Amino acid sequence: MTAPEPTAPEPFGARLRRAMDERGPLCVGIDPHASLLAQWGLDDDVTGLERFSRTVVEATAGRVAVLKPQSAFYERFGSRGWAVLERTVQEARSAGALVVMDAKRGDIGSTMAGYAEAFLRPGAPLSSDALTVSPYLGYGSLSPAVALARETGTGLFVLALTSNPEGGEVQHAVRPDGRTVGATMLAHLAAENAGETPMGSFGAVVGATLGDLSSYDLEINGPLLAPGVGAQGATPTDLPAVFGAALPAVVPNVSRGVLRYGPGVVALRDAVDRFADGIRLARAGA
């Protein structure tokens, strides 16, 4: 008797769409930088890092669609920080949240493939549901990560129109064909996601602080990770004006706007609920 064909993994885009529909679209960043650790009364060491991370997971993983740990704040502690990050990812996923690893990797060839293996290969210590990547060595440099994401049912969030002011000098630069670099990245992602249902697995990072983006085609049939809500100044009520018809695909990211209410679990959950309610009202009124 022949063995059954292995079942293809469910694509990240389908899993994310379901999580957004069931829990709302909010993404909470896990950013344990030194000032937040101090604000929580924790030491700037591995013990403080782990206490912070576990508290955020305990408070939020069961009620948001996505958690997004920022790897830099773990990397600065070396191997012990990496170990905390591994546990944070595993605990968040076990609690039902999708995990987007915010590592913003970008390289070429076998090096890009190595980054993809580290963060997207099932069974790897840091295996996540999706990874943020930088396309500014050329979109084609991401090909190894795109290929592995398709194989494993994971996803990518590609930096396209970021919320940092410095990003404009690259992302708003105009190419010989008349399109900006940011618009070119969005077009590449639309091509990756063509024909996928309920949406594709290749998303863009588009800042919620950027104001009117009507000159850009944000409808890429994939998710739009939107940093900038909360401490950077954007509010849920800004989202319809920024994203227009693409609003149903937006995953608003809040980090300090929630994390500043720690270390109490109840206070963190209340902050999450306030942002989630605001986002739901903004989407309903759009």
CATH number (domain holding residue 254): 3.20.20.70
Establish if 258 belongs to a structural domain. yes
Average of per-residue pLDDT values in the chain: 96
| C-alpha separations of 150 from 70, 78, 192 in Å | 23, 31, 10
Establish if 194 belongs to a structural domain. yes
233: pLDDT confidence band, cut at 50, 70 and 90?
confident
CA distance 271 to 262: 10
Q: What is the pLDDT of residue 240?
A: 96
Q: Find how far residue 252's CA is from the centre of its chain.
A: 9
What DSSP assignment string belongs to 25-36? S-EEEE---HHH
Partnered with residue 92 across adjacent β-strands are none
Q: How many CB atoms lie within 10 A of CB 268?
A: 21
Establish if 3 belongs to a structural domain. no
CA distance 146 to 151: 9
- Among the options 18, 80, 87, 104, which is catalytic? 104
Per residue in 164-213, pLDDT (tens digit) is: 999 999 999 999 999 999 999 999 999 999 999 999 999 999 999 999 99
Establish if 251 belongs to a structural domain. yes
Give the number of residues written for the chain.
286
Q: Does the structure show a pLDDT above 90 at 286?
A: no
Per residue in 9-33, pLDDT (tens digit) is: 999 999 999 999 999 999 999 999 9
Which residue type does 4 have? P
CA distance 268 to 241: 28
CA distance 43 to 68: 22
Establish if 2 belongs to a structural domain. no
Establish if 7 belongs to a structural domain. no
The verdict on whether 104 is a catalytic residue reads: yes
Hey, what are 173's tokens? 């630069």
Q: 45 is in which domain, residue-wise?
A: 12-211+218-285
| Close Cβ partners of 251 (under 8 Å, ≥ 6 residues apart) | 16, 20, 25, 26, 27, 65, 66, 203, 223, 224, 225, 226
Which bin fits 228, alpha (ψ -120 to 50), beta or left (φ > 0)? left
Establish if 5 belongs to a structural domain. no
- What's the number of domains the chain is made of? 1
Establish if 4 belongs to a structural domain. no
Per residue in 68-119, pLDDT (tens digit) is: 999 999 999 999 999 999 999 999 999 999 999 999 999 999 999 999 999 9
Q: Percentage of the chain with pLDDT > 70?
A: 98
